[in-house]
Amino acid sequence: MVSQIIRRLALVPQGGNTGLVGGSVPVQDEIILSLSRMNKILSFDPASGALVAQAGCILQNLDDHVAQHNFLMPLDLGAKGSCQIGGNISTNAGGLRLLRYGPLHGSVLGLEVVLANGQVLDLLRTLRKDNTGIHLKHLFIGSEGTLGVVTAVSIQCAPRPSSVQVVFLGLESYAAVTQVLSKARKMLGEILSAFEFLDAECMRISTSFGSVNPLGSAPASDAGSTQSGQIFPFYALVETHGSNGAHDREKLDAFLEAVMADGEACDGTVAENVHQASQIWKIREGISEALPHCGAVYKYDVSLPTPLMHRLVEEVRAQLAQWPGALALGYGHVGDGNLHLNIVSPKAYPDLKAQIEPFVFEWVSNANGSISAEHGLGQMKADAIYHTQSPTAVDVMRSIKNLLDPQHILNPYKMLPKD
Ligand SMILES: O=C(O)CC[C@@H](O)C(=O)O
Ligand SMILES: [Zn+2]
């Protein structure tokens, strides 16, 4: 660190390098600072659930560790087998169960951070409550390694649920997805742990690359669906985490019965075992992995008011006719108002991105949404920050950057726009 200050060499902190906006990839000649060998678990307190670990620990390994004490990491991502906790913190990763366990700003108890001047900022406490001045840890959660390098973390784990239930529903419209979401919030309340949706295009792509649609080959349901065996316009994956299997199942059955009886869902299935549950999750988690097999992929990760989420996909779709073979698909964390809009095309059309991207960003901005819900800005979206943040907010961010990293040696060219 000291020699870097003298030479002012720029560096890019890198964890599992699983990000989607180029935040951990050098732009010019920055040195990659890999955290991979800082992979020690420092302590776990089974009374409070506080875990202290170095930044290079892989999320899955941490979850396996706390599982021995019947706890669970408060975040879960498709990339859990390779992403690292330091990267998760630095990007404020959201993931599949934010709906239940909240954002990292709530569960991170403390951090150790190396500053640009080489000082170690020790904020590695395990306290739930600590109102002694400004909560500095929040500056480093989600600032993508531009203000300091996170080297260790203390995080609040949640009790591991003894009962996990997964339901998969086929629906006729996006409006039905939002109605079923309201019903899930009401009827499943405190046990609801995830509510994800995908459209028919996603189902087609995910099943072409190995996932199995549990509603695709099922016999007609009790609700009299005539559509089993076909692809529904929309699907919802609903998961519960609870502590009493019989009660949770009772609640889930009542929920399923209600959404069928009210005509909101056309078909549905409950996973009867862990294998079936993971097959259902594979449909959802497999989308992102399957997309690159379809050709060029343009990715958007936006926050929108829930009722508007799929309208954006439809409006983008209406514009794609001029690029033969290009498809827009929508899926994501509908319970968190987070849409993953992806466009795939058999070949890369240089003008597609140039025309569609401003349209998407302006649409999101007009709807008071965010152009980056959970993936961050990295190098790919940094210049789009003004679509979500005001010039005053960006000025404050720049001032903080200049204060903590006056030489701009920490992850330069990321998160903040060029001008
Ligand atoms: O690839 C994407 O667009 C989303 C990736 C990830 O955030 C997910 O929720 O699967
Ligand atoms: Zn996501």
Q: What is the CATH number of the domain that holds 265?
A: 3.30.70.2190
Whether residue 27 has pLDDT greater than 80? yes
Give mean pLDDT, residues 135-150: 98
pLDDT at 7: 85
Same domain, 230 and 150: no
Q: pTM, whole model, 2 decimals?
A: 0.94
Q: Find the 124 Cα to ligand 1 centroid distance in Å.
A: 30
User: Does the CB atom of residue 216 touch ligand 1 within 6 A?
Assistant: no
Tokens of 241: 């985490």
CA separation for the pair 13, 64 (Å, rounded) = 25
Same domain, 131 and 274: no
Q: Find the 340 Cα to ligand 1 centroid distance in Å.
A: 6
SS3 278: helix
Dihedral angle of Cα 89, 45, 78, 340, to the nearest 10 degrees: -50
User: Does the CB atom of residue 342 touch ligand 1 within 6 A?
Assistant: yes
pLDDT at 217: 61
Tokens of 76: 């879960």
SS3 158: strand
201-259 confidence digits (pLDDT tens) = 999 999 999 999 999 864 434 433 333 458 999 999 999 999 999 999 999 999 999 99
**Domain boundary, last residue among 253, 282, 311:** 282
pLDDT at 168: 98
**Domain boundary, last residue among 235, 253, 282:** 282
Give mean pLDDT, residues 149-170: 98
33 in any annotated domain: yes
Q: Find the 301 Cα to ligand 1 centroid distance in Å.
A: 8
Q: Of all helices (H) and strands (E), which one includes residue 183?
A: helix 174-188
Characterize 370-389 residue by residue with b for buried, 16 or more Cβ atoms within 10 angstroms of its Cβ, and e for exposed.
bbbbbbbbbbbbbebbebbb
417 in any annotated domain: no
CATH number at residue 106: 3.30.465.10
Would you place residue 3 in the very low, low, confident or very high pLDDT band (cuts 50, 70, 90)? Answer: low
Atom of ligand 1 minimally distant from the CA of 341: 3
Same domain, 21 and 59: yes
Characterize 94-119 residue by residue with b for buried, 16 or more Cβ atoms within 10 angstroms of its Cβ, and e for exposed.
bbbbbbbbebbeebbbbbbbbbbeee
Helix axes 350-366, 309-319, angle to 10 degrees: 150
pLDDT at 229: 58
Q: How many domains does the chain have?
A: 3
Same domain, 122 and 170: no
356 in any annotated domain: yes
Atom of ligand 1 minimally distant from the CA of 299: 3
pLDDT at 409: 98
Same domain, 183 and 136: no
Dihedral angle of Cα 106, 38, 2, 9, to the nearest 10 degrees: -80
CATH number at residue 303: 3.30.70.2740
Same domain, 259 and 201: yes
Closest Cα to residue 108, out of 147, 154, 144, 59?
A: 154
178 in any annotated domain: yes
The residues, ordered by sequence, that sit 6+ positions from 235 with a Cβ below 8 Å of its Cβ are: 168, 169, 170, 171, 197, 198, 199, 202, 203, 215, 283
Q: Which of 1-15, 48-62, 72-86, 100-114 has the weakest average pLDDT? A: 1-15
Which residue spans within 294-337 are E strands per DSSP? 296-303, 327-333
362-394 confidence digits (pLDDT tens) = 999 999 999 999 999 999 999 999 999 999 999
393 in any annotated domain: no
> What are phi and psi for residue 140, nearest 5 degrees?
-95, -10
What amino acid is encoded at 296 in this protein? A
User: Does the CB atom of residue 288 touch ligand 1 within 6 A?
Assistant: yes
β-pair partners for 126:
none
CA separation for the pair 96, 280 (Å, rounded) = 13
Same domain, 73 and 92: yes
Nearest protein CA to atom 2 of ligand 1, as residue: 288
Same domain, 180 and 134: no
Q: Could you give the C-alpha distances from 325 to 197, 292, 322, 349, in angstroms and in order? A: 24, 14, 9, 11
366 in any annotated domain: yes
SS3 394: helix
Atom of ligand 1 minimally distant from the CA of 284: 10
The ipTM value here is: 0.99
**Domain boundary, last residue among 107, 139, 159:** 159
Same domain, 154 and 18: yes
SS3 305: coil
What's the mean pLDDT when you consider all of the chain? Answer: 95
Q: Quick count: other Cβ atoms within 10 Å of Cβ 235?
A: 29
Whether residue 335 has pLDDT greater than 90? yes
Same domain, 213 and 72: no
The residues, ordered by sequence, that sit 6+ positions from 187 with a Cβ below 8 Å of its Cβ are: 251, 254, 255, 258
| 355 or 5, which is more confident | 355
Closest Cα to residue 90, out of 21, 159, 8, 37?
A: 21
Give mean pLDDT, residues 52-76: 98
Ligand 1 pocket, mutate which of 211, 282, 288 (most atoms under 8 A from CB):
288
User: Does the CB atom of residue 299 touch ligand 1 within 6 A?
Assistant: yes
CA separation for the pair 191, 49 (Å, rounded) = 19
CA separation for the pair 176, 236 (Å, rounded) = 10
Same domain, 234 and 324: no
Same domain, 264 and 318: no
The residues, ordered by sequence, that sit 6+ positions from 7 with a Cβ below 8 Å of its Cβ are: none
222 in any annotated domain: yes
267-280 confidence digits (pLDDT tens) = 999 999 999 999 99
402 in any annotated domain: no
Q: Find the 406 Cα to ligand 2 centroid distance in Å.
A: 33
Q: Domain range spanning residue 70?
A: 2-159
CA separation for the pair 408, 177 (Å, rounded) = 45
Nearest protein CA to atom 3 of ligand 1, as residue: 340
